[in-house]
Every structure is written in structure tokens, then in C-alpha cells.
Amino acid sequence: MQTIKQIVHDIADHLPEEATFEDAMHAIYLRQKLERSLQAAEEGKITSQEEMEKRYLNDAR
């Protein structure tokens, strides 16, 4: 498991030379969202697309 510091270094290493602070912050934000999504999936806290479609179709009726 990487530390936060290692993750930030990895993100910085993959940014283009002309990247802005906004680019860096966006990359960190996306990484955070990905980590949270993966954790939710591991914990079974996700809803399949099929289940969501059923919910929305039932609500529309």
C-alpha cells in the first residue's frame, strides 16, 4: 500500500511539464475518488447498473 506522499509524488511525476496547480489538484481529486470507489466496491457498498435501472424504471411508472 502506497502512502499519500508516494501517491502525490507519482501523480506529480506523470503530469506534463506545463501542468498548472489546477491540473495537479484535479489529478489528486480523481485519484481520491478512484480510491473511495474501489474501497466501496470491496466493502460491497455499490449498486449494479441493473439494479439502478430497475429502480429508475419503477420510479418512472
The CB-based long-range contact list for 31-37 (8 Å cut-off, 24+ gap) reads 31/7
The model's pTM is 0.72
Query: In the structure, what pLDDT confidence band is assigned to residue 58 with cuts at 50, 70 and 90?
Result: confident
Residue 58 amino acid letter:
N
Query: Do 28 and 11 form a contact (C-beta atoms < 8 A)?
Result: yes
User: What count of Cα atoms within 13 Å lies in the side-chain half-sphere of residue 7?
Assistant: 13
The stretches of 15-48 forming alpha helices (DSSP H) are 21-42
Rounded to the nearest integer, the mean pLDDT of the chain is 93
Query: Do 50 and 59 form a contact (C-beta atoms < 8 A)?
Result: no
Give tens-digit pLDDT for 11-21: 999 999 999 99
